[in-house]
Structure 1
């Protein structure tokens, strides 16, 4: 069994054939798929998919940094109410199928295109960090061109944070080491690792122990070789697993088992 820790299966790209996508994932050996909400509207679409496939899909709820605007506080308050409701249900032992929330995410910082909402992003991310501490849910973190700012926010809370994933890691050895100084965090690696131009196959075994790594697709984006350029889907995570197992010099079954153990440790689901 392989676990896809990050897939946007609720988006329009999968509207016409989601059942087939899920079926192909299961046939490929994917046992669980974690779905991130990125804004208030997607909370409902993510939960709808997870309710439809409760044995496979698990929800995460957060405000993705590229979705942060002037109304970020209002949006966050509404999202947090939903999180608290789901956690109350869980505490009372009446979790409905597909409503077992596993993380705060997708949250983070993204200054790749613009810093127009920099202050809002910083404030929203720090709020997510506080949610994680309060709820004991791990963070699913999006970070692009913002590593220094992100670590500056997280370090004061380092001992209190339950852990999480730095999603879609494509950085170098130095960047990996900086993230992994946060002891309970792991790196999420996907299709980019299979690209001919990627340095991850050389850098990851040097800088990232196998117990600090989880697999993801980020479907429908960044499909791995040999599917590059196509719509990505969870079944393709097998290509990521094979590529990384080879560069770590580990048997594929062992690699899947080890990364699944990491998922279980971080998310409490495995």
Structure 2
């Protein structure tokens, strides 16, 4: 048995609703934060406590350091950590309630929570931090919480593989852009300067992963596919046979839920997370 890519893609979509809500900026502004990116950085990293910019740069990986420094540590003085986490969870509930109205949310929440309980978090700081947060007391909240732990679990694995391949945050995003997995504004989205972006593409060109026109080469496409495949394998390495069986049993319902989210426009594609609708 194996954990299929479709499972991970569906998990990503269910988690990602908190980034695409039309009122996400207003929600975080209302509790004292300033702007979309401060809300993003603070709400995603608050599971770690009130971390330093340097810790968040390391764990997020793909963002320009300047983008993180503009949000932290100021955010921790502007809003209470528990309020930030509660606002994010409420946002997730509101975003998922409509699209998942016809979904068996209690079943998905129960099964995903069981999978999360069996994870080995060694080397996966963001997943461990989110798993340590109190589980919500409602099914929709538990579903999003479990999906978030699993999303960050694969994400932590992905960062390890990217760094092992010699890809820093800028180069990893540039390669995803060249592969057509993101929007054309990926540089701006992740906060890199034009010079940093050009340097990243030049490093990819020297490896023959893109050509002079910033088009991905066959070698680059193969390298990125290998990284994604390795991420899937590493992410599922600690899954017991029972956990793998649960993912297989849940996959069709999860994919249907993710597609309902996509159909509702709660997550758009392509997007900066470089995920695709399963």
Give TM-score, length-normalised by structure 2. Answer: 0.31
Give TM-score, length-normalised by structure 1. Answer: 0.31
Larger Rg: 2
User: Which of the two has greater helix per residue?
Assistant: 2
Q: Comparing both chains, which one has the higher relative contact order based on Cα–Cα distances under 8 Å and sequence gaps of 6 or more?
A: 2
